[in-house]
Structure 1
Amino acid sequence: MDRVTELDDLELVQSVVSGNKGDFAELVRRYQHKVYSTALRMCCSREDAEDIAQEVFLKVYIGLPRFRAESNFSTYLYRVAMNTAIDHLRRKGAMPDTTSLFRDSEEGGYVVEPEDPAPSPLAALEESERNAILRSAIEALPVNHREMIVLRDVNGLSYEEIGKILNLGEGTVKSRINRARARLRRDLLAYGNFFTPDQSNIAERG
């Protein structure tokens, strides 16, 4: 096994700062998909997401000597990714598999429903249409709501992690997530065929 693959994130950071610049490639390998996915959900364009991801890793590489490990490297990376994506949206003036928006894994956090391992062609088409609707609804959210949905419901981060990324208390994080989800549910209800009957009843209750 390659030496760098056995190191944890902090050890890799320390190695890079100590002069082993090539070890940064392992950090990129570990997180490039998550950074790209976060940028794509925030900015909606594949081309923009690729540019943002490159900018994020460049910023992180340059900033590693100032990283003090007061939080996890992944938290630091997400913070840079979110700030970079938001800066990109401001300069321009300006999704995920279908999620059950009404089941919580952590005091209000939603969990992704397991997919049918062998969906029928019709079911696959319906799921594709639902995904397109969900992506469009997320893209239409205000940035402050979109970032909450992306961090919590797309990336599955905990309230604590989100608080560290956005420099917010957990109570504030929870209330902002609830508001963002309420807005998203309201917008999705405009699509009469998005929710199943049971989900529609729950959504209407909020």
Structure 2
Amino acid sequence: MKFPQTVTCFVVLFVIVNFGFSQNKSLAAIPSGVYVSKENTNIKEAIATDNHKTLLAAYNATDLNDLLEESGPFTIFAPSDNAFLKLPKTKLEAMLNADNKNQLKSVLKYYIVPGKLTASSILKALCRGKGKTTFTTIQGDKITATMRGIDIILTDSMGNSAMITVADSTRGNGIMHEIDSVILPPTRI
């Protein structure tokens, strides 16, 4: 039996509110002296994890570090290292080439949306939009969000899609959602 979109939205929101969406570890599992309040750190520190080395290298190759460290609030959809491995090697090398700095900045700005968009606020927008909503990035182009089951799917203007795999990594100047594929603005490298 197929459920109407509003029923699906309600069920997803109920699950998020009652059971949480992100895959955060318990504080008890973190050794003492290691925990730092997420609200006192910035988005760049969220990206500087073992799972986002390629994205961090890309931001370091541009002058966008100030944005990640000081500005906000904003939401970043962060491709994981595995997402970048899905690209052809030549495309990845071209993306990180210093000669393509302006194009790389355009791609990186495409992952940033002004404001703090939690997973639940994205789902609420999806419910209001009958299963579809768009976000304008600081780069100027739009990302379309839809649902596939209980997963949030982001699609670029070329039809490439990525799924949010880890949501709501909250920091003082924004929030990060990890995505499993690279999506690109219309002006590609």
* Fold similarity call, TM over 0.5: no
RCO higher in structure (CA 8 A, sep ≥6)? 2
Structure showing the higher helix proportion among its residues: 1
Structure showing the higher strand proportion among its residues: 2
TM-score normalised by length of structure 1: 0.27
